[in-house]
Amino acid sequence: DSGVTQTPKHLITATGQRVTLRCSPRSGDLSVYWYQQSLDQGLQFLIQYYNGEERAKGNILERFSAQQFPDLHSELNLSSLELGDSALYFCASMSGGSTYNEQFFGPGTRLTVL
Amino acid sequence: AQSVTQLGSHVSVSEGALVLLRCNYSSSVPPYLFWYVQYPNQGLQLLLKYTTGATLVKGINGFEAEFKKSETSFHLTKPSAHMSDAAEYFCAVGDSSYKLIFGSGTRLLVRP
């Protein structure tokens, strides 16, 4: 158990819909990362937040957005869903923001778009 | 920009045999390098990491990796494979914003 929780574990929805994925980082970790794992794209970094502020952006579509709340949990919002958005979405947390500490990964949310 | 190449999408070894998973990186700055393991239906778990210092890094579960700057490599090894090592392994390089750039992964199969 990494200490990072993600809900829900599985999500099945239809094209055009909007979903929200939730992540609770390890206690005390200020950094939250979102990654997408798909068969064709592999593991890709989407976005990072540090203590409530966006720190870095990767290959995140404009239809996707995220935020980190004062209690440090984070949500990833996916809208106008397409079949190609079906993937495993991971959240990871890391303590601090200035050194390479370990990123701890949650178990992921498997999104299926039908 | 940093990148990672993992040679071999699948590697098959016999139980008790040497495990060698290859990783080459590209980085314009001294790299931070990581190996993660993913068991079926689970998240990623850190095996080991190289930041600075000793080039031979020991990790969990008997794995180790050697950072070779001249070869831009960070290959993962284990002297004797166990059935429980069957999983997918990802090499990653960290960039200046501390995000991870992953390789495409290598699935390790262990034959009895």
- pLDDT tens digits for range A30-66: 999 999 999 888 999 999 999 999 999 998 999 999 9
pLDDT one-digit tens code per residue, B25-84 = 998 777 889 999 999 888 899 999 998 888 899 999 999 999 999 999 999 999 999 999
Contact B86/A at CB under 8 A: no
Tell me the three state secondary structure of residue A45.
strand
The answer on pLDDT for B102 being more than 80 is yes
Higher pLDDT, A96 or A68: A68
Most A CBs within 10 A among B27, B41, B98, hence the mutation to make, goes to B98
Most B CBs within 10 A among A6, A48, A103, hence the mutation to make, goes to A103
Higher pLDDT, B102 or B31: B102
Closest CB to A107: pick one of B32, B36, B43: B43
- Amino acid type, A110: R
Chain A residues lying within 8 Å of B103, measured CB to CB: 42
> What confidence score (pLDDT) does residue B95 get?
78
| Closest CA of chain B from A42, distance in Å | 6
State the DSSP code for A71: T
DSSP per residue, chain B? --EEEEE-SEEEEETTS-EEEEEEEE-SSPPEEEEEEE-TTS-EEEEEEE-SS-SEEE-GGG-EEEEETTTTEEEEEESS--GGG-EEEEEEEE-TTS-EEE---EEEEEE-
| Confidence band for A97, pLDDT divided at 50, 70 and 90 | low
